[in-house]
Amino acid sequence: MRAIAEGLFTDEAEPRLIGGRDRETGRIVFPCPPSAAYEPVALSREGTLWSYTVQRYRPKSPPYAGPEAFRPWIVAYVELPGEVIVEAPLHGVGLDDARIGMPVRFAPAPLHPDDPESVLIPAFAAAGVPA
């Protein structure tokens, strides 16, 4: 598995996001800042859909680096209990089927879905849906 950036995911069989815990306050952020003030911490795989919106148009490039053939996607805000809220795409859920409070799990996804060599980005899927 090759993440879009180093230090985003653990290398476990079932990867997790790597957040950063502020050494002074204990507050957790994602991603982990490159600073001695933060210690890396593996985040929960499971969370809840806290809020969401649907990205219905192709974002401006740069910074957008996704597929040229645009498909709308759900931009999810996932609450990882007691840790942090993470923004990431929600895959495997119809645009009209997302529900605030639904259980989700971390499921890295290819940036370019049609490219078998694509880097992976942080993403979530409905809990119970195979990765």
Do 80 and 43 meet the contact criterion of CB atoms below 8 Å apart? yes
pLDDT of residue 40: 97
- Average pLDDT along the chain: 90
pLDDT above 80 for 115: yes
CA separation for the pair 81, 28 (Å, rounded): 11
Domain boundaries, the chain: 45-126
pLDDT above 60 for 88: yes
pLDDT of residue 95: 94
pTM, entire model: 0.87
Q: Is residue 70 very low, low, confident or very high in pLDDT (cuts 50, 70, 90)?
A: confident
